[in-house]
Amino acid sequence: MTDDERLRDLHDRLESTAELPVEREASAYLGEAEAVARDLVERPADPDVVRERAGHVRDLLAEIDGTGNDEADEHVAAARELAAELADG
């Protein structure tokens, strides 16, 4: 999978959680992480910027202990892996 595909998948996973009922605190972190991921998808950036911002997404997702929704938790777990892959470049 290319970095562009990882970015798209990361964004799509995070965007999917917006449609699901999740705990308030998790929602705030998810919203911020999704906004950063969306920006990476919409605005091409050099690899250093992608790594830095993916690291920010990874850090935001690390703050989520659970969402209160099993489907959202699956998306968060997958998004964590993708963000880590992108951040580690």
Tell me the pLDDT tens digit for each residue of 49-81: 999 999 999 999 999 999 999 999 999 999 999
Q: How confident is the model at residue 4 (pLDDT cuts 50, 70, 90)?
A: very high
Q: Which of these, 32, 10, 2, lies nearest to 81 by C-alpha position?
A: 10
Domain membership of residue 15 as a residue range: 3-88
Residue type (1 letter), 29: Y
Cα(65)–Cα(88) distance, integer angstroms: 22
Number of domains, the chain: 1
Burial class (CB in 10 A: 0-12, 13-18, 19+), 84: middle
Residue 89's pLDDT band (cuts 50, 70, 90): confident
pLDDT in tens, 21-33: 999 999 999 999 9
pTM of the model: 0.95
